[in-house]
Structure 1
Amino acid sequence: MTVKAPRARSRRTATPSVPDLAAVGEGRRRVIIEAVEPIIDGGRYPVKRIVGDTITVRCDLFADGHDELAAVVRYRPLGAKAWHEAALRHLVNDRWEGQFPLTSIGRHEFQVVAWIDRFATWVHQLEKRLAAGQDVQVDLQIGAALVGEAARNADGADAAVLHVAEAALIAGDVDTAFAGEIYALMAIHLPRRFATESEIYPITVERERARFSAWYELFPRSTATEPGRHGTFRDVIKRLPYVAELGFDVLYLPPIHPIGHTFRKGKNNSLTAGADDPGSPWAIGNADGGHMSVHPQLGTLDDFRALVDEARKYGIEVALDIAFQCSPDHPYVREHPEWFRARPDGTIQYAENPPKKYQDIYPFDFETDAWQELWQELRQIFVFWIEQGVRIFRVDNPHTKNFRFWEWCLNSLKAEYPDLIFLSEAFTRPKVMYHLAKIGFTQSYTYYTWRTTKAEITQYMRELTTPPVSDLFIPNFWPNTPDILTPQFYRGQRAVFITRAAMAATLTASWGMYGPAYELMEHTPVPGREEYIDNEKYEIRYWNLDAPHSLRGFIAQLNRIRRNHPALHRNDTLRFHRVDIDFHEHEWLLAYSKTSLDGQDIILVVVNLDPDHTHRGWVQVPVADWNLTNIYQAHDLLTDARYQWSGEFNYVELSPAAPVHIFRIRRLRRDERGFEYFA
């Protein structure tokens, strides 16, 4: 048997590749920055805030070893060269926090910068050495070098103070070295060696009306002062005192453009229109023009501009509906057939949601080869109405149009006109609604219309007021719209109309209603559908604003309370309160509160959700959190009744005739003469 000798192994081995250190950047940066808040999708989309807000930034900061850290959040308007800074402070467990003010509308940005605080580290170590009785001569020389480095980076009086401290440390005179403002000066002037910078994160800062607003929707063609006549912009001007009396600051008009004739809808959405049927305002365009024209029976562009100007005198802004769709008669159909989808038989695809068909509407084809020209034209529609004085737009069904178009269009418009407000009418899936908020829509319709029980309302409001949703989504609560009449209204109970309006106006800082249908308590639906019978979308209505059953007085009072109480101007202080009956949570009585940021204005709302029965219970008041004495006052702002309360649980009773309390909680005060009063 022959045994083969083993093959000799080669002494040569593969040389491992050396990573490119240039790709590392500055490798001496030791601080790690993680978990920065608030940001949306890693900073892809801007956080949303209101001018005048103070934004709180939090992050995790840590480094190797035991050195002390320092950090700032720096911030600036987008495009500005200079940064402003605010210090971050350590909270607990490597979590840091800082705040900075937002003083102008538009796009802003912020960044966290963190570094090893060499001076604080030296001071901390020096204190321990001194406490241990160690010789610190060398350590004082190290400190003197740090102070000298800062002095060379300063000038004027600051440099002089630092040089004195430097000399004192060299001489071993610690007391003199630390006698001045050395800590503050070192924080300013000692160079931040090897600082770590986070990504730059965006913020959109909106004007105040983006968060706090009250919208009133009406159809201009139904504003005539006598039955049987088509209303005009001049009639709407005459209606402004009424809208102002109700306390609304946004007047929203459905589309005001020429209406198509082909496949025009008749009353109650009939497929056959009569000779006098005006058609749906959302079937936009005919021979008189399209999206940049006004319906001839409403008046002229001059009349519209007069309406916008006159509304401002009442503190009201006019909001326009933008619906990107066309009637078959729209000039775009003739001039740009490539913007629409063609069917195999050569006809244009009309809108449909099978089995429903909307032959009077052609949707735009956002997959057209001419998409760039389409995008530019649609953006120009906004620009046209902006030039007529409009700064607020309600956008119809944005979730059925290209999201990338909206992101480009809205953000480019707001870069030029930062005071614009866009309300998204997207009753669709939550993630889609939230994405529309991310890409540029200011406010959004919500699911409030369908949230009716205590559990549903509580859960939904907690979702809307908790990050990340609250960082991007500004809700606007509407109890009704021309498209939506939900079942709770079908019996026409006054209590339902009161409670739904009261909750919409106090749960969120922005609310709206479709009138005069709401204040006149219209409640008859199309059989089998959540929609009004004899709908204004398809016919002209005459409204008796002076009807004795009108809720106009209540609505006006509700909006007056909102205006007068800063607690109701925001959503982030919303808090729900327990209401007990027989030591169990009451299912019909809903209680919640809001407070102003300074804690001086406290509003507590209690609602009876049952329109048929009186309910009683004990509402829990957070006495300690609100800094209340044992005796305090609950002042009902709706009735002016005043109740002296004490302790944590207090009795409430609400009937269908009076189903809401809006309490102002007043603390017991004592003046300089010793007299006690509630304020």
Structure 2
Amino acid sequence: MIGRLVIDDVSPAVSGGRYPARAVVGEHIPIEATVWREGHDALAASVIWRRADEEAPGAALPMSLADAGLDRWKATVIPDGPGLWTYRVDAWSDPWASWRRAVSAKLDDGQGAEALANDLETGARLLERYARRADPGHRPRLLRAAGRLRDDRAPLAQRVSDALHEETAEIVARSPLRDLLTRGVPHQIWVDRPLALAGAWYELFPRSTGGRNAAGNPVHGTFATAAADLPRIADMGFDVVYLPPIHPIGRTHRKGPNNALTAGVGDVGSPWAIGSEEGGHDAVHPDLGTIEDFDAFVARARSLGLEVALDLAFQCSPDHPWVREHPEWFTTRPDGTIAFAENPPKAYQDIYPLNFDNDPAGLYAELLRVVLFWVGHGVTVFRVDNPHTKPVDFWHWLIGQVKERHPDVLFLAEAFTRPAVLQGLAKAGFTQSYTYFTWRTAKQELTDYLTELVGTVDFLHPNFFVTTPDILPEHLQQGSPAAFALRAALAALLSPAWGLYSGYELYEHRALHQGSEEYLDSEKYELRPRDWARASAEGRSLQPWITRLNGLRREHPALRRLRGLRFHTVDNDALIAFSKHDPATGDTVLCVVTLDPEQVEEGVLTLEPPLPGLEPDGTVSAHDALSGEPVTLGDSTLKIDPAESVARIFTWNGHE
């Protein structure tokens, strides 16, 4: 419906307002709209902003004309608490701005009092209208200005001086007349806590933390041995420790090392083959300990400032209790057997996928019960396995149900799938998503992809995992320490959220075979104890660099933002330069990262406005975050030797 004034192309509005936009507490959210009317009269607009659960009308925040040629108006809102918020853009005719503009133009044209007689009387009547609305202390000034406009004995310049004074404009702006007021359509923004946008994740298999016995053989780890590794993870500056499934593992069709179809005696199997006679999704593997041991692990993590993320894999081994108790929750093949998971030509005989169509009410209720069970045991974050293989309306329902009870719970989608599906899951409620960063390596494709992500920041929060247990990208398979370092730098500095899989800091890089992205001796199928202390002592660890990156992220709020990411010109395709800015603090960070792990690369960096803090001569006084030295940047020649450092990082305080 078109109002008296036109309010169009409002943002953020996800899928035309079908889904709430997403943001976090304290984030500066730009609200924009195209607002116009017929003719030349001035107009004004504001954002009505409030929490959805409040009955108060909300705060009216004035919008400014950001682009006169496109009639584009803008304001910034800052949510101070989590939950659902609403905003609406209102617009109205601004008679005082119209009067000032017209009279000023006629005065500049040299027109006299006789030609302006009607304008002067119109202005006087407007000031009387404003005076009736203004605070008592301001009324005399407005009425005095109205009287002077009518004083035909005074020179014209004196008659208009009070009316055109900035103090009068300020008083009028406090109690504006809203002629032809047009109210826009309400829109929603779901606001999460800051971890929903920014955080550092560490993926850990508790069963691999048991070390080795006297014979050198791996010992199955427990929640207690995993808890002993938490201080090391916290010291690196991570915010979340993510655990693959911790449930009992089936024995039927259990996989052996390197995904072998037949398991040997003592083979531990894949933790994603969930369920056995010991229990299902609400049980813990007995070799890891008890549920009380898990509670102790969560408590220890919290004491170190870490949150625990649990893998949510809605699939079953053939031995899962649901297979016996609810066969209707699975797909039966023509021969009467239950269908196992397939991604042709790959087959996963140890996993039965769920069928969401036979008994949705019963299955939905049980899966919600499982999630709430783990929330009750201190899990605040879920990493969801293969969400794109389950109905999107289920996720929309489940996440909504959980959020209604526990608004702080977050969901990360492992959605390595088509862009429309990845984005659709984010719109449906997922807090964060894995992305295609893992396969973006060249300067242009990184620039294009990050530009795309900035364009979807209103609903999709990316998490840049450098590797996962399933994915060892080709560019890391040579084992170059600098390659691992530069990918960590790109992930940690480009994305507000990033993560790595345990072993990354030890440069684990052996692929199953040439052309494969799977690890040789994958931890998905066997224990992988690691000697962290020995690796550090021998200088074979990326841990110091990871710690520095996470330290910079904590020191600089700009690195925990995606809005406002800018790329800058470097005349060398092996160097990529970008900056981030935090409008709340003025914190600005400029990063130059090499994409070549082997050679020294050099290039001229060009800084362009509107980079905050840039002087008129195109330079800025900055701090080298790695060396601690002051530096002046402009059209600067930079050299990066990957043997010393894969990045140059500069910081300063800038204001837009």
Q: Is the 8 A contact 2:44 2:94 kept in 1?
A: yes
- Deviation of the 1:57 alpha carbon: 1.7
Once residues 602 and 127 of structure 1 are traced to their aligned partners in structure 2, the CA distance between those partners, rounded to angstroms, is 40
Structure 1 alignment gaps of length 5 or more? 1-23, 581-585, 669-679
Q: Quote the offset at 1:643 in angstroms.
A: 7.5
Paired residue type of 1:111: R
Aligned pair 1:409/2:398, yes or no? yes
How far does the alpha carbon of each residue in 1:456-489 deviate from its partner, in whole angstroms, 9 at most, with x for none? 2222122212x2x122221111111000011112
1:571 to 562, 573, 587: 562
Deviation at 1:428, TM superposition (A): 0.7
In the superposition, the TM-score normalised over structure 2's length comes to 0.88
Whole-Å Cα distance in 2 between the matches of residues 192 and 579 of structure 1?
50
Separation of aligned partners in 2, 1:507 and 1:265: 37
Confirm or deny: 8 A CA contact 1:341 1:364 kept in the other structure: yes
- CA gap of 1:302–1:134, structure 2 versus 1, over 3 A, is farther
Are 1:498 and 2:485 matched, yes or no?
yes
Aligned residues: 628
| Change in 2 beyond 3 A, CA 1:182/1:603 | closer
| 1:395 and 2:384 are equivalent in the alignment | yes
Structure 1 234/30 Cα, relative in aligned 2: closer, same or farther at 3 Å?
Answer: same
* Cα distance in structure 2, aligned partners of 1:380 and 1:633: 56
**Alignment equivalent of 1:431, drawn from 420, 430, 438:** 420
Contact 1:607 1:659 in 2 (8 A): no
SS class of match (1:578) = strand
Q: Which amino acid aligns with 1:133?
A: A
1:594 matches 2:580: yes
Describe the SS at the equivalent of 1:477: strand
Matched residue, 1:353: 343
CA distance in 2, matches of 1:632, 1:70: 36
CA distance in 2, matches of 1:601, 1:165: 42
For each residue in 1:535-593, what CA deviation from the matched residue of structure 2 results, as whole angstroms up to 9, or x when unmatched?
1111122111122212222222222222222332212333333333xxxxx23233333
1:11 alignment counterpart: none
- How far, CA to CA, are the matches of 2:72 and 2:620 in structure 1? 38
Which deviations, in whole Å up to 9, do the C-alpha atoms of 1:426-466 show, x marking residues without a partner?
A: 1111111111111111111111111122222222122212x
Contact persistence 2:438–2:467 (CA under 8 A) = yes
Are positions 1:252 and 2:228 aligned together? Answer: no
Q: CA deviation at 1:204?
A: 1.8
Pick aligned residue for 1:102 from 72, 76, 79: 79
| 2:233 matches 1:240 | no
Mapped partners of 1:105, 1:187: distance in 2: 31
The SS at the match of 1:292 is coil
Matched, 1:373 2:359: no
- Cα shift readout 1:232-285 (whole Å, capped 9, x = no counterpart): 111121111111122111100001111112111111111111221121111111
Partners of 1:363 and 1:77 lie apart in 2 by 40
8 A contact 2:614–2:620 mirrored in 1? no
Q: Report the alpha carbon displacement of residue 146 of structure 1 after superposing the two structures with TM.
A: 5.6
Partner of 1:461: 450
SS of 1:66's equivalent?
coil
Specify the alignment match of 2:639 in structure 1. Answer: 652
Q: CA deviation at 1:200?
A: 1.0
The SS at the match of 2:484 is helix
Q: Does 1:525 align with 2:511?
A: yes
Match of 1:561 among 552, 561, 568: 552
Task: Measure the CA separation in 2 of the matches of 1:237 and 1:289.
Answer: 23
Q: Is the 8 A contact 1:148 1:163 kept in 2?
A: no
DSSP 3-state at the match of 2:505? coil
Change (3 A) 1:539 1:647: closer
Is 1:534 matched up with 2:511? Answer: no
Question: Structure 1, residues 353-388: CA drift from partner, whole Å, max 9, x if none?
Answer: 1222112111111222x2122222212222111111
Deviations 1:145-202 (A, max 9, x none): 66666666x5xx8257548856984794677985997655655656645422221111
Which has the higher mean CA deviation after the structures are superposed, 128-137 or 47-56?
128-137
Matches within 5 A, 1:635-646: 636-638=624-626, 640=627, 642=629
Q: Secondary structure at the match of 1:422?
A: strand
Provide the secondary structure at the position in 2 that maps to 1:496: helix
CA distance in 2, matches of 1:496, 1:41: 39
Decide whether aligned partners of structure 1 residues 180 and 526 sit closer, same or farther in structure 2, where only a CA change above 3 A counts.
closer
Q: Identify the residue that residue 34 of structure 2 maps to in structure 1.
A: 60
Q: 2:181 aligns with which of 188, 192, 195?
A: 195
The one-letter code of the counterpart of 1:73 is V
Contact 2:318–2:350 (Cα < 8 Å) also in 1: yes
Kindly indicate whether the alpha-carbon contact (under 8 Å) linking 1:394 and 1:422 is maintained by their aligned counterparts in 2: yes
Partner of 1:422: 411
Residues 130 and 142, structure 2, Cα contact 8 Å, conserved in 1: no
Amino acid paired to 2:85: H
State the Cα distance separating 1:117 from its structure 2 match: 2.7
In the alignment, is the contact (CA less than 8 A) between 1:141 and 1:170 conserved in 2?
A: no
Q: In 1, distance between residues paired with 2:588 and 2:100?
A: 46
- Alpha-carbon distance between aligned partners in 2 of 1:205 and 1:646, rounded to the nearest angstrom: 37
SS of aligned partner of 2:506: coil
Amino acid at match of 2:437: Y
Residue identity in the other structure for 2:219: R
CA distance in 1, matches of 2:391, 2:261: 29
8 Å Cα contact 2:588-2:653 kept in structure 1: no
Structure 2 Cα separation of the partners of residues 449 and 341 of structure 1: 33
Match in the other structure for 1:211:
197
Q: 3-state SS of the aligned residue for 1:470?
A: coil
Partner SS, residue 435 of structure 2: coil
Give the structure-1-normalised TM-score.
0.85
Distance 2:8 2:620 in 1: 45
Say whether the 8 Å CA contact 2:91–2:183 is kept in structure 1: yes
Gaps of 5+ in 2: 152-158
Identity across the alignment (%): 45
**Residue number in structure 2 paired with 1:134:** 114
Native 8 Å contact 1:619 1:652 kept in 2: no
> Whole-Å Cα distance in 2 between the matches of residues 165 and 518 of structure 1?
70
Deviation at 1:598, TM superposition (A): 6.4
- 1:438 and 1:403 map into 2 onto residues whose CA distance is 10
For residues 589 and 64 of structure 2, the distance between their equivalents in structure 1, rounded to whole angstroms, comes to 33
Moved more, 56-65 or 476-485: 56-65
Residue in structure 2 matched with residue 6 of structure 1 by the alignment: none
Secondary structure in structure 2 of the residue aligned to 1:103? coil
Q: Does 1:50 align with 2:24?
A: yes
- The residue that corresponds to 2:156 in the other structure is none
Secondary structure in structure 2 of the residue aligned to 1:278: coil
Partner Cα distance (2:344, 2:619) in 1: 62
- Taking the aligned partners of 2:653 and 2:620, their CA distance within structure 1 comes to 5
Are residues 1:77 and 2:51 paired?
A: yes
> Matches of 1:622 and 1:596 in 2, distance apart?
18
Distance 2:461 2:628 in 1: 33
Which residue matches 1:605?
591
1:338 matches 2:328: yes
1:290 Cα deviation (Å)?
Answer: 1.3
Equivalent residue number for residue 5 of structure 1:
none
Q: Is the 8 A contact 1:577 1:592 kept in 2?
A: yes
- 8 Å contact 1:151–1:160 — kept in the other structure? no
Write the distance in 1 (CA, Å) between the matches of 2:379 and 2:37: 52
Shift of 1:615: 2.8
The Cα shift of 1:90 comes to 2.6
SS in 2 for 1:463: helix
